[in-house]
């Protein structure tokens, strides 16, 4: 199995005719993802190397049976693209778009949650289930299939840890980059819950960073609900107080949201925390050996 994307994924790419949408949509298809359609208003009837393009997501769903959406749309149009996708009946949405205003994402969040939509992002690398499907911008070539679930707020740290796991002979069930914005579609807990229910996943790595309290909430949820071993890495031990570091959500206030506070919360419930990406990879590999 896997979570979120797999062999049954039928992908529609909003913005497929744009430069980034085309590049990554075709790259996802080359990996083996079933990319069935693209959507660009006013360009219906065209195609991108054999992938049909529709004017609306509803038309794409009707004609192709698309069940998963990848959003490559500029920030000012991305919320409407998400609404359109959800209204067309798609329940898995992955949005890579950066710089969506927080108040717009708050409206999106309150709209999609009651509908049971799984949304990853925005400002995220996407989701990869090695050997099955790649939806987004994750460099699939550095990963291999296995039994380690990986969920992260950071894209590049995800790549490094997954690659180090692969170099040691193990692999991942699914890699999920939830995004680094203050408001995202899925939390750590949402993804941990899916990994807990997934038969392929036997171990989980959680990659956090400074800012907010999502890692602390995740630690408490793991203590109360998780039966599978969880390992972690927290980025930002050297971050200056009060500074945003890379992601819009990576800002600390006083002692709240610091890397040390998150490390302590995770270790308090028995989660081993690596001090470097290499160390956390070695911890999970040792446990899985």
Token code pair at residue 198: 């997934």
Q: Choosing from 24, 99, 103, 247, which is the catalytic residue? A: 247
Q: Are 171 and 132 in contact (CB under 8 A)?
A: no
Token code pair at residue 123: 């400002």
Q: Are 226 and 266 in contact (CB under 8 A)?
A: no
Q: Are 283 and 272 in contact (CB under 8 A)?
A: yes
- 163 counts as catalytic: no
The Cα–Cα gap between 246 and 124 comes to 13
At residue 145, the 3 state secondary structure works out as: strand
Q: At 68, give phi and psi (nearest 5°).
A: -140, 140
The Cα–Cα gap between 36 and 25 comes to 10
Nearest to 33, CA basis, from 148, 129, 97, 155: 129
Token code pair at residue 23: 């590049």
Burial classification of residue 73, based on how many CB atoms lie within 10 Å of its CB (0-12 exposed, 13-18 middle, 19 or more buried): buried
Alpha-carbon radius of gyration of the chain: 18
Nearest to 229, CA basis, from 281, 280, 287, 166: 287
Q: Are 185 and 95 in contact (CB under 8 A)?
A: yes
Q: Furthest-apart CA pair in the chain: how many Å?
A: 57
Catalytically active residues are: 247
């Amino acid at each position: 199995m896997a979570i979120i994307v797999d062999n049954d994924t039928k992908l529609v790419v909003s913005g497929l005719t744009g430069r980034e949408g085309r590049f990554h949509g075709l790259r996802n298809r080359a990996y083996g993802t079933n990319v069935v359609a693209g959507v660009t208003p006013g360009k219906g009837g065209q195609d991108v190397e054999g992938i049909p393009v529709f004017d609306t997501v509803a038309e794409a769903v009707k004609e192709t049976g698309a069940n998963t959406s990848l959003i490559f749309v500029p920030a000012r149009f991305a919320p409407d693209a998400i609404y359109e996708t959800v209204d067309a009946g798609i329940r898995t949405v992955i949005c890579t778009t950066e710089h969506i205003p927080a108040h717009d994402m708050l409206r999106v969040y309150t709209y999609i949650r009651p509908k049971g939509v799984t949304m990853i992002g925005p400002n995220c690398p996407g989701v990869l289930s090695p050997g099955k499907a790649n939806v987004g911008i994750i460099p699939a070539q550095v990963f291999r299939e296995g039994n380690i679930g990986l969920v992260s707020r950071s894209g590049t740290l995800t790549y490094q840890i997954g690659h180090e796991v692969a170099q040691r002979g193990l692999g991942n069930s699914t890699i999920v980059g939830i995004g680094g914005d203050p408001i995202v579609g899925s939390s750590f807990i949402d993804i941990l819950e899916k990994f807990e229910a997934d038969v392929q996943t036997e171990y989980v790595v959680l990659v956090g960073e400074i800012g907010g309290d999502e890692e602390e909430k995740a630690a408490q949820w793991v203590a109360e609900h998780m039966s599978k071993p969880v390992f972690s890495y927290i980025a930002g031990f050297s971050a200056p107080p009060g500074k945003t570091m890379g992601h819009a959500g990576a800002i600390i206030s006083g002692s709240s949201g610091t890397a040390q506070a998150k490390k302590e919360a995770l270790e308090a419930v028995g989660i081993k925390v690596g001090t470097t990406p290499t160390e956390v990879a070695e911890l999970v590999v040792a446990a899985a050996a």
